[in-house]
Amino acid sequence: MEVEATPEQKQAETHLARSIKFLQRGIAASETHYIYRALRTAFSLRKRLQPDVIAEIATAYNSNGNSQSIKNCLNVIFESLQQSPTESTPASVTCEPEVCLFLGLLSALYLLDNGHIESGANLTEVLVEAISTAQRRTLDPISSRVFFYYARFFEVANCLADARPKMLSALQAATLAGMKETKAMLLTLLLRNYLHYKLYDQAERLTAKSSFPADAPNNLLARHLYYLGHIEAIQLNYSQAQTHLLEATRKAPSNAATAGFQQTVHKIYVIVELLMGNIPDRSLFRVPTLKKPLQPYLELTQAVRVGDLAKFQDVVGKYQDRFLKDNVLALIQRLRHNVIKAGIRSISVAYSRISLRDICLKLHLDSEEDAEYIVAKAIRDGVIDATIDHENGFVQSADVHNVYETSDPQYAFDRRIAFCLGLYNDSVKSMRYPDSNHRKELASTMEVLRRERELAHELENDDFDGDSDVDAMDEGL
């Protein structure tokens, strides 16, 4: 391509060329380390990616690589860059598929940013095809990103279900080949895919039957935890959901780029907390990035906290569209009885004896009989400690006993200790030790030890020679 390149393009080209060098070094040493580096540089260039820049690099690489299969694959890339429909040439890659896929990934990025969804989907489909024929460990980081964009294109094109079969078979292949990052990515994408269609059953089965790689990158882990939490919340497994969602918020970095994720997770987190009968911290709603999107949830929390059924209905009615958009309306509907429980609890704290009729009026219940059953259920569920006198129609609260006489505080401490120990163990596990450096250090200490021993030996010998050589030895030291 003989077009006059702008300095920016030149810079992008040199960056890309360097990325490819990294890739090749990574392949040679079979170290994923370098591959990550290549990907990082490339993604920082995202805004400046132009078809001719990619093409230039591809041509340059092509002339060195001189392998027929790479040419095939690159042809596909070229074609899609020119936005002509691709004929799906099965690209059986035999030589350095990493580089080929890397270039493909860059092209896909360009297509996505410029809204060429259809050709992007075609391109990624070819790339996915290519991955299935080449299973290598060094391919892992690249292929996981290819799948991400594969799913993304299908999502934008609104036909996410069509991407499922390929991803499922790829998941199988990745598990067998031990490609951990790809596996983690695919699991996460599949969960997203299922949740998009509200197939909670299938999503739950997928998580039950598969194991998420323990050493997956943090951002994938955070997303996976969020999806898990969501599924568990739907299936009434609130305590698990709460743990997972909390972990998701902690694992995700808290910067401007992840604000959206944090908001989404916190929305569900607040509801799950409420469903468990806890009231989320007020400080949560003051965090600058969360304040505005969580406003409806704050009002909801307030209604639940006071136990005001009428206010609760008001809030739900007022923000129905918002909740529907956030996909949590059904979860919120379940909160109704938590509101009643909260109401009963505050009544039982305030009154030592109250008639059923008054409870009925205070909680806006339909009938006294209902109130009686509701209170009875609350007593059985351990919400309040009281007895009902049926003949006289009142509820008698039991004496409040000291919590510190029970084992509750101990449980609370135990939970916190377990969390701290878990955190400690996790951080020990995730520490990395550069393996060659400490060997070098070891060699140098060995050297020092040897020299010292020699010195001691010489000193011993010198003793016999008398003091004549001491000055000379000092110099030698």
Partner 1 sequence: MSARTINKLYEQTYAALNSQNPNLEAIGKQVSQLKVGVVKLAIQNSEIEADSSFQLLKRGVAELGAQLSIKIGDIAAFERYLAQLEPYYFGNRMGLSDSDVMYPLIGLNLLRMLSDNLIADFHTMIERIDLEQLQNNPFIVHPVKLEQALMEGSYKKVWQARSDVPTPEYLFFMDILMSTIRNEVASCVEKSYTSLPFSDAKSVLFFSNMDELLKFAQDHQWIVSPAEKRITFKSDAEDTHLFQGENIMKQTLSYAQELERIV
Q: Provide, rounded to whole angstroms, the least separation between the CB of residue 211 and partner 1.
A: 22
Name the residue nearer to partner 1 (CB basis): 126 or 309: 309
Name the residue nearer to partner 1 (CB basis): 82 or 424: 424
Q: Provide, rounded to whole angstroms, the least separation between the CB of residue 235 and partner 1.
A: 4
Name the residue nearer to partner 1 (CB basis): 96 or 372: 372
Cβ contact 104:77 at 8 Å: yes
Residue of 451, 442, 207, 233 lying closest to 328 (CA atoms): 233
Q: Provide, rounded to whole angstroms, the least separation between the CB of residue 195 and partner 1.
A: 10
Name the residue nearer to partner 1 (CB basis): 113 or 373: 373
Q: Provide, rounded to whole angstroms, the least separation between the CB of residue 201 and partner 1.
A: 6
Name the residue nearer to partner 1 (CB basis): 303 or 365: 365
Binding residues for partner 1, per CB under 8 A? 161, 197-201, 204, 234-237, 324, 329-330, 333-334, 336-337, 340, 365-367, 369-370, 372-380, 386-388, 390-391, 405-407, 410, 414, 417, 421, 424-425
Name the residue nearer to partner 1 (CB basis): 7 or 382: 382
Q: Provide, rounded to whole angstroms, the least separation between the CB of residue 94 and partner 1.
A: 37
φ, ψ for residue 280 (rounded to 5)?
A: -65, 155
Q: Provide, rounded to whole angstroms, the least separation between the CB of residue 282 and partner 1.
A: 27
| Sign (positive or negative) of CA dihedral 295, 301, 307, 313 | positive
Q: Is 389 helix (H, G, I), strand (E, B) or coil?
A: strand
Question: Which tokens belong to 465?
Answer: 């020679």
Q: Could you write out the DSSP letters of every residue in 223-288?
A: HHHHHHHHHHHHTT-HHHHHHHHHHHHHHS--SGGGHHHHHHHHHHHHHHHHHTT----GGGGGSH
Collect all residues with Cβ–Cβ distance below 8 Å to 89 and sequence separation of at least 6.
72, 75, 76, 126
Collect all residues with Cβ–Cβ distance below 8 Å to 194 and sequence separation of at least 6.
200, 202, 203, 206
Q: Provide, rounded to whole angstroms, the least separation between the CB of residue 314 and partner 1.
A: 17
Name the residue nearer to partner 1 (CB basis): 35 or 241: 241
Name the residue nearer to partner 1 (CB basis): 176 or 197: 197
Whole-number Å distance between alpha carbons of 192 and 368: 46
Q: Provide, rounded to whole angstroms, the least separation between the CB of residue 168 and partner 1.
A: 17
Cβ contact 170:182 at 8 Å: yes
Note every long-range contact of 292-300, with CB atoms under 8 Å and residues 24 or more positions apart, other chains counting: 293/263, 293/267, 294/263, 294/266, 294/267, 294/270, 296/322, 296/323, 297/266, 297/267, 297/270, 297/271, 300/270, 300/271, 300/274, 300/332, 300/335
